[in-house]
């Protein structure tokens, strides 16, 4: 049983590890990686429109059509399996399978001919994020080992798979992991939400941080671009 002193020590050690992960000099050795998501703000309640969502994080993945009208969200989705042979095959085969399932979903929902829809891509594997629409896989987890994906931008791989089909047109506007997606979904209903946590096949957490505290991305000068600073 942990007493208050034990909990305080855990808090202090976690804070040290987080600060180490935020610093560019110490981040490579940090146990807590503090990977930036490049998501700069939570929803503010004015969001309107139709969006696609793709959620890949295990042996099943989901494709959703989401209709936002300010604080109301209407979602319709389909779950697809990723066969083990595809999980452990080639990266091209994996993303071709995803694109095929997306095409089937869009055909079913009669949205293939409605023009390019914005798509949010939840990719719940360790990634080095280089922008809101660029994430390079660090290493596979959860039983995946598809070749020629590690150190590649997964958004580019998805776009290329869709282009090979020539029958679906998407606009990937964000790539994120499931913790960030959880935070954004909760904040859509309650925008004071600042933390997202996933405890499952993989466990992870995210929170909103001041850009000024993120030494590892200071070279990008994000504080000067007019966007929110946390």
Residues with catalytic roles: 62, 124, 178
3-state secondary structure the chain: CCCHHHHHHHHHHHHHHHHHHHCCCCHHHCCCCCCCCCCCCCCCCCCEEEEEEEEECCCEEEEEEEEEECCEEEEEEEEEECCHHHHCCEHHHHHHHHHHHHHHHHHHCCCCCCCCEEEEEEECCCEEEEECCEEEECCCCCCCCCECCCCCEHHHHHHHHHHHHCCCCEEEEEEECHHHHHHHHHHHHCCCCCEEEEECCCEEEEECCCHHHCHHHHHHCHHHCCCCCC
């Amino acid at each position: 049983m942990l007493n208050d002193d034990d909990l305080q020590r855990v808090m202090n050690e976690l804070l040290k590890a987080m600060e180490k992960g935020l610093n560019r000099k110490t981040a490579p050795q940090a146990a807590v990686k503090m990977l930036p998501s490049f998501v700069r703000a939570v929803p503010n309640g004015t969001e309107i429109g139709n969006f696609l969502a793709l959620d890949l994080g295990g042996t099943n993945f989901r494709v959703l059509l989401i209709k936002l009208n300010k604080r109301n969200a209407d979602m319709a989705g389909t779950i697809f399996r990723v066969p083990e042979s595809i999980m452990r095959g080639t990266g091209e085969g994996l993303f071709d399978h995803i694109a095929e399932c997306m095409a089937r979903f869009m055909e079913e929902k009669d949205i293939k001919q409605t023009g390019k829809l914005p798509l949010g891509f939840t990719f719940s594997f360790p990634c080095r994020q280089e922008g809101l629409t660029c994430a390079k896989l660090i290493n596979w987890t959860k039983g995946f080992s598809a070749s020629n994906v590690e150190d590649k931008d997964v958004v580019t791989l998805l776009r290329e798979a869709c282009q090979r089909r020539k029958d679906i047109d998407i606009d990937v506007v964000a790539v994120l992991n499931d913790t960030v997606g959880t935070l954004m979904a909760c904040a859509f209903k309650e925008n004071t939400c600042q933390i997202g946590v996933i405890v499952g096949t993989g466990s992870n957490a995210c929170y909103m941080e001041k850009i000024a505290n993120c030494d590892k991305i200071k070279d990008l000068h994000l504080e000067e671009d007019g966007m929110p600073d946390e």
